[in-house]
Amino acid sequence: MKKGTKAAVFAAAVLGIAFSVKVDADAASKITRVKQTDAGDHSVALSWDASLECEHYVIEFSDDLMKWVRMEDTTGTEASVYKLSSGSSYYVRVTGYTDWSWIKDTGTVCANASDPIEVVTAPDVNSMSVSQTDAATSGFTVQFNGGSNSGANYYCVYLQGNDVPIGVSDKPEVVVDGKLDAGAGYWCYSYACRMSSAGFVARGTRSFDQFKTLTGKIGRSAFSISNGWHELNSYNFTIANTSSVDGYQLQFLNASGKTKKTFTQPGNTFRVSDLVQGTFYQYRVRTYIDCGVKKIYSPWSDCRYIGIPKKVTLDTKSSALKFSWSKVAGASKYEVYMSTSENSGYQKIKTAKAGSRTVSITKFKGKKIKKGKKYYIRIFSYAKVDGKSVKTEAAWSGYYRRY
């Protein structure tokens, strides 16, 4: 029993009027089907089956099944009892009477006291809060905080507009695994309750919050370099926006898989400066959800690759279109492509070993290099990753004009 229960019951006894009971010796039946139908934080509502012989009913409460206190009487088969303690359990029984005297406030028992049932009041949740403490792709975990003295012994989480809970627990932590959609936000009602042994649930005031599930593994097509400025060594990396997450991570690893740099932020576009050029990188992304003092992360995506030289130099004294580039650490070879159009028509003109980073071009597509004409260049790097040769999707790109 919660502290204060007995005080509440016996305070009611002091305020009530003492009554005597005249028992009909032939009365063999008893009141049946007593049940709790509603609850507040200081009240309970009851109902029971009518007895044909009875014209009056008396409701008694106890906290120990031994000492009973009259709390209410009525001529109907329903009643509400008030001024109870919040988050508490009581035992209740109902007795039926005939020949009731309003003057004497008593009568003759025509239906014996019902079997006692446990009834409960709703917890006091004024000092309680609710927060998300964990997340999975198909659910989440909710924590009820600050309710150690509320009398709550049962906790429920409902989806908005749904009458069936998606998570219940007899502890303040509720794990919801309702096969929910990954990467989604769900508005939910959360209740701290007190449940009786008969299964009646008295719900405290609800909390309305949004809880989030983790995204699954992000596909490689969902993130890439969106802009780049070679002369500034600055690049934008963009991840497809997911509205139900709290943020994103972008991580760079070298060709051997060693983590070199990790960026964490709420937005889905990362501006990365003074890092990318000069090293072959694997890069990958994931999302996260803020759960109190910790972040819960989705799985890492598969890696994409980038390897951009810091410097590309044109030899202006050469009669050919001759250029060279600086080393990309971790690269095993390079491929050079060229076109006369910026966005199409590229052809591979050379594969260069790691130590040979110079190209001299006198002809392109069977024609001599022309003075004054623009030629667009792309340089791709290769590296060994997990024993396989992989190519950067992002390349150094620029154009040259032979004067």
Per the CB < 8 A criterion, the answer to whether 88 and 8 are in contact is: yes
pLDDT of residue 189: 96
189-198, 303-312, 317-326: least confidently modelled range: 317-326
295 Cβ neighbours under 8 A, 6+ residues apart: 246, 247, 264, 288, 289
Using pLDDT thresholds of 50, 70 and 90, give the confidence band for residue 20: very low
Q: Within this chain, do residues 323 and 283 fall inside the same structural domain, yes or no?
A: no
Q: Is the pLDDT of residue 94 over 60?
A: yes
Strands (E), 55-172: 56-62, 69-74, 78-81, 89-101, 106-111, 117-120, 129-136, 139-145, 154-159, 167-169
Q: Is the pLDDT of residue 38 over 50?
A: yes
Residue 277 sits in which domain range? 220-307
pLDDT of residue 16: 37
Using pLDDT thresholds of 50, 70 and 90, give the confidence band for residue 374: confident
Last residue in a domain, options 178, 212, 246:
212
Q: Within this chain, do residues 17 and 116 fall inside the same structural domain, yes or no?
A: yes
Q: Within this chain, do residues 325 and 261 fall inside the same structural domain, yes or no?
A: no
pLDDT of residue 320: 84
Q: Within this chain, do residues 198 and 231 fall inside the same structural domain, yes or no?
A: no
pLDDT of residue 90: 98
Q: Within this chain, do residues 115 and 10 fall inside the same structural domain, yes or no?
A: yes
pLDDT of residue 151: 93
Using pLDDT thresholds of 50, 70 and 90, give the confidence band for residue 28: low
Q: Within this chain, do residues 31 and 116 fall inside the same structural domain, yes or no?
A: yes
Q: Within this chain, do residues 146 and 227 fall inside the same structural domain, yes or no?
A: no
Average of per-residue pLDDT across 47-68: 95
Average of per-residue pLDDT across 87-103: 96
pLDDT of residue 243: 83
pTM: 0.80
pLDDT of residue 206: 85
Tell me the percentage of the chain whose pLDDT exceeds 90: 75
Average of per-residue pLDDT across 218-243: 92
Using pLDDT thresholds of 50, 70 and 90, give the confidence band for residue 172: very high
Using pLDDT thresholds of 50, 70 and 90, give the confidence band for residue 4: very low
Last residue in a domain, options 307, 340, 373:
307
Q: What's the number of domains the chain is made of?
A: 4
Q: Within this chain, do residues 208 and 225 fall inside the same structural domain, yes or no?
A: no
pLDDT of residue 24: 46
CATH number, domain at 342?
Answer: 2.60.40.10
Using pLDDT thresholds of 50, 70 and 90, give the confidence band for residue 148: confident
Q: Within this chain, do residues 101 and 180 fall inside the same structural domain, yes or no?
A: no
The vertex-398 CA angle with 394 and 399, nearest 5°, equals 150
Question: Burial letters for 157-191: b for 16+ Cβ neighbours within 10 Å, e otherwise?
Answer: bbbeeeeebbbbbeebebbbebebebbbebebbbb
pLDDT of residue 403: 55
What is the pLDDT of the chain when averaged over all its residues? 89
Query: Distance of alpha carbon 124 from its chain centroid, rounded?
Result: 26
Using pLDDT thresholds of 50, 70 and 90, give the confidence band for residue 126: confident
Using pLDDT thresholds of 50, 70 and 90, give the confidence band for residue 86: very high
Average of per-residue pLDDT across 280-304: 96
pLDDT of residue 401: 62
Joined together, the tokens standing for residue 206 give: 């609800």
Write the pLDDT tens digit of every residue in 313-369.
Answer: 888 777 788 889 999 999 999 999 999 998 899 999 999 999 889 999 988 888 888
Q: Within this chain, do residues 169 and 182 fall inside the same structural domain, yes or no?
A: yes
pLDDT of residue 398: 75
pLDDT of residue 6: 40
Write the pLDDT tens digit of every residue in 202-226.
Answer: 999 889 999 999 999 999 999 999 9
d(CA 367, CA 380): 24
Average of per-residue pLDDT across 67-86: 96
Q: Within this chain, do residues 32 and 115 fall inside the same structural domain, yes or no?
A: yes
Q: Is the pLDDT of residue 193 over 80?
A: yes
Q: Is the pLDDT of residue 263 over 60?
A: yes
Average of per-residue pLDDT across 70-74: 96
Joined together, the tokens standing for residue 107 give: 């009568």
Last residue in a domain, options 120, 144, 167:
120
Q: Within this chain, do residues 108 and 41 fall inside the same structural domain, yes or no?
A: yes
Using pLDDT thresholds of 50, 70 and 90, give the confidence band for residue 143: very high
Query: Which amino acid belongs to residue 240?
Result: A
